[in-house]
Chains A and B, each alone.
Chain A
């Protein structure tokens, strides 16, 4: 997340340099990084992070979503840990995480389970993976939507 904020902040710096640099801002920015062999990044990186934080706050790109994803990740880890002994081997954690998130969002928007199942099967997902993701999504619905 920090990297994204730094990148976003750097884009802001590029834009500001363009606007206030009287046609020279971008060249100055490039030179100041390359000609100091990157040492100037010591200043640019924290500045970018700060600006990135501000942009994320303004546009609400958002800590809430990030927290939710972390929660899903923890749930999957826990569920897969609990079920390891007696359940069949299912898709990898990243894939299940993606499915849980998709199912959660689709259900919130009122899509039926059958529709979700058929759409996902249509793009090549195995039924057992979809079912496992649906179980996780249903079991932790409240905490996911919190």
Chain B
């Protein structure tokens, strides 16, 4: 039998929603509908934009779901294990509202400055949201995440201090991804670049990859490499530099050789090229026990491996999505530097 029903403990959690949680879910839906309707006067194709943000959030939640649990939301609320479409809609509403309002109020401020404002606003709203889901008993954390955050909670809010880091990183990647696609949706004219500033591309790639690596630190251990190469917890400079160089070169190659591609085709090309190079390397690292997935992560794996390798099949599906977020972030930032009108 190819398909086995999920027997992991993450599929057997408490799904029964309490009355306050049902009210919370209704409030999320009502607010989403209200803001989409209200903000449609300030931006075109708002539904498509909302959909793109929701995809970005879903990718992030899908990749990082072993880090946190979302319980008691009702049978209807889940799409994959404990990943909930209602929380996806909630986060998408926060991002859509914040970006549209800031863009509307400060159209003349340079895009990169607005980006920091998005992060600040979404951090404040996100902290409130996290507090609500913690208080309702929806949100809890995996043992590995607990190990990292310890017992350090923000007074009054009752959420981990780590949220102050995780929320902006999550937001930076998803907003970067969304803003890249909003260039496509809004059919923006982007200056073609003949002489690419590769140093700038490299710097943005370092930021994108490093942020994400710290974020998923609890999901993967990097072992068996020289002691000097560990820079923070078990984040390894050799591995991180490998990912940065692969992504950076893939972007440079596509931008140079496929300069005539539109943003859609370029995005697909970046991901295909970077995946084609990075996946075999990941396979080698996994086979040599350099990359070790944490128990909460492997608990979600089906047990099937990619033929002739030790790579779990899930990694093949996750890898392009991981790259989609990071590359969206990197490319949006490079476009903001190259195009003053954005």
Which B residues touch A19, using CB under 8 A?
79, 85
The reply to whether A25 and B192 contact each other, CB–CB distance below 8 Å, is no
The reply to whether A23 and B304 contact each other, CB–CB distance below 8 Å, is no
Shortest distance between the CB of B325 and any CB in chain A (Å): 14
The tally of residues in A whose CB lies under 8 Å from a CB in B reads: 41
Tell whether A41 is near chain B: CB-to-CB under 8 Å: no
Tell whether A18 is near chain B: CB-to-CB under 8 Å: yes
With contacts A31-B302, A124-B194, A125-B194 taken as known, whether A23 is within 8 angstroms of B81 at the C-beta atoms is: yes
With contacts A26-B80, A30-B313 taken as known, whether A98 is within 8 angstroms of B192 at the C-beta atoms is: yes
Which A residues touch B81, using CB under 8 A?
23
1/0 per residue A65-105: CB within 8 Å of B? 10000000000000000000000000000110111011001
Shortest distance between the CB of A81 and any CB in chain B (Å): 18
The reply to whether B304 and A124 contact each other, CB–CB distance below 8 Å, is no
A4 to B184, CA, bound (A): 14
Partner of B192, one of A7, A37, A102: A102
| Interface of chain B residues 74 through 105 with chain A (CB within 8 A) | 78-81, 85
| Interface of chain A residues 15 through 30 with chain B (CB within 8 A) | 15, 18-19, 21-28, 30
- Give the nearest-CB partner of A109 in chain B: B189
Which A residues touch B302, using CB under 8 A?
27, 30-31
1/0 per residue B231-272: CB within 8 Å of A? 000000000000000000000000000111010110010000
The reply to whether B260 and A23 contact each other, CB–CB distance below 8 Å, is no
Q: Can you list 30 A-B contacts with CB-CB less than 8 angstroms, sorted by A residue number? A: A3-B268, A4-B265, A7-B268, A18-B80, A23-B78, A25-B79, A26-B62, A27-B3, A30-B304, A30-B317, A31-B2, A31-B3, A31-B313, A34-B313, A34-B316, A61-B264, A95-B194, A98-B192, A98-B260, A102-B190, A102-B192, A109-B189, A120-B191, A120-B192, A120-B194, A123-B192, A123-B193, A123-B195, A124-B193, A125-B194
